Amino acid sequence: MRLISSPNAPTPVAAYSQAVENDGLVFTAGQLGTDPKSGELADGVEAQADQAFRNISAILQEAGSSFGDVVKVNIFMADLAHFAAVNAVYERYVGSHRPARTTTGASALPKGALIEVDVIAAKRSAS
């Protein structure tokens, strides 16, 4: 198992890694819409979703992967009424790629966040 850490994603605040790579797969920790420089949550669900996906993109890039390699996405939302808004942001990152996905309503998320996202991605082979 290899630990993955990107300076372009928030530093973990507890005993976990941004991601781990194992047996050709990259598993990210849940990412909030937290700005990695300020440590602050973005304002509003769309901005938080965009920042969460940017954080994941940075982590995947550090691991030698990308959204095109994602096989599974988990999205946790404090209010499922925001599904359409979050989905629009999500589609900007995955494009026509269609990984498996679960979206779950959560009664509360860390730091009062509106959204949390984690993914599993395949690791690209070195060419």
Fold type of domain 2-122: 60s Ribosomal Protein L30; Chain: A; (3.30.1330)
- 75, 90 in Cβ contact below 8 A? yes
Q: Does the model's pTM come out above 0.85?
A: yes
**Residue 68 CB contacts under 8 Å (≥ 6 apart), including other chains:** 95, 97
pLDDT tens over the chain, length 127 residues: 999 999 999 999 899 999 999 999 999 999 999 999 999 999 999 999 999 999 999 999 999 999 999 999 999 999 999 999 999 999 999 999 999 999 999 999 999 999 999 999 999 765 4
Other beta carbons within 10 Å of 93: 21
Say if strands 115-122 and 25-28 run parallel, antiparallel, or are unpaired. antiparallel
Domain coordinates in residue numbering, the chain: 2-122
